[in-house]
């Protein structure tokens, strides 16, 4: 069988890829620290150490920068979910995913996006990588949610989509920042506290 050799990547292409990854990493950290509205393209260019004009050769707008950061996190989430045991109890996998989200957030690597921003929303909807990743995550988590409801481990009276969005909301949960700023708990303790309120609620047991 004659297999064609993979196309060679030029040194210039490799350098462009490295620069693009550095840009997305800087955007990710700025979005986590400041949010979309406060982040500026000038700050991104300064952090990477390139001219703003060079940055625009990779990403034509601030919205495209944010979308690239979201795709990066989405792929990390997909990789994490793929690492989970398929035969594990659904609640174990759901808790593991929410724990991972909280750990990424506590490490300052979770982009913070505005809840309402028409230009950014339009860019994300038009981004196939983002939308495909979002649908994949929704399908996987949704299947675990429905399985956990069937086992009586999650409230079967709640629509599965409401539970799904509750889990997604942990990625922008301000409780995490408040507890972290208070300095009374370690990151591991904060993770377990938020997990407890998310899965067990606030009622006494």
Binned at pLDDT 50, 70 and 90, residue 5 comes out as low
Is 170 part of a structural domain of the chain?
Answer: yes
Q: For the domain that residue 83 is a member of, what is the CATH number?
A: 1.10.357
pLDDT per residue as tens digits for the range 117-135:
678 888 999 999 999 999 9
How far apart are alpha carbons 32 and 38 in whole angstroms? 11
Average pLDDT over residues 174-189: 94
Total domains, the chain: 1
pLDDT score of 14: 80
Is 61 part of a structural domain of the chain?
Answer: no
With tokens 């795709």, the residue in question is 71
Is 180 part of a structural domain of the chain?
Answer: yes
Kindly give, in sequence order, each residue whose CB lies less than 8 Å from that of residue 175, ignoring residues fewer than 6 positions away: 194, 197
Is 23 part of a structural domain of the chain?
Answer: no
DSSP string over 113-159 = --S--HHHHHHHHH-HHHHHHHHHHHHHHHHHHHHHHHTTSS-TTS-
pLDDT per residue as tens digits for the range 39-74:
999 999 999 999 999 899 889 999 999 999 999 999
Is 17 part of a structural domain of the chain?
Answer: no
Structure tokens at 74: 């989405």
Range of the domain at 177: 67-199
Q: Which residues of 36-75 are buried (b: 16+ CB within 10 A; e: fewer)?
A: beebeeeebbeebebeeeebeebbeebbbbbbbbbbbbbe
Is 50 part of a structural domain of the chain?
Answer: no
Is 99 part of a structural domain of the chain?
Answer: yes
């Amino acid at each position: 069988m004659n297999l064609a050799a993979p196309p060679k990547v030029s040194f210039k292409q490799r350098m462009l890829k490295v620069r693009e990854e550095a840009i997305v990493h800087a955007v990710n950290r700025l979005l986590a620290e400041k949010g979309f509205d406060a982040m500026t393209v000038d700050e991104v260019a300064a952090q990477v150490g390139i001219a703003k004009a060079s940055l625009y050769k990779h990403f034509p707008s601030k919205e495209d920068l944010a979308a690239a950061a979201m795709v990066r996190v989405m792929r990390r989430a997909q990789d994490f979910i793929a690492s989970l045991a398929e035969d594990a109890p659904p609640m174990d996998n759901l808790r593991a995913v929410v724990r991972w989200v909280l750990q990424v957030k506590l490490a300052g690597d979770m982009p913070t996006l505005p809840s309402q921003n028409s230009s950014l929303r339009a860019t994300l909807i038009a981004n196939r990588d983002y939308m495909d990743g979002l649908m994949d995550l929704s399908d996987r988590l949704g299947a675990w949610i429905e399985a956990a409801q069937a086992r009586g481990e999650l409230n079967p009276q709640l629509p599965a989509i409401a539970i799904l969005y509750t889990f997604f909301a942990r990625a922008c949960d301000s409780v995490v920042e408040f507890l972290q700023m208070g300095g009374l708990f370690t990151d591991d303790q904060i993770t377990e506290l938020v997990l407890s309120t998310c899965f067990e609620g606030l009622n006494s047991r």
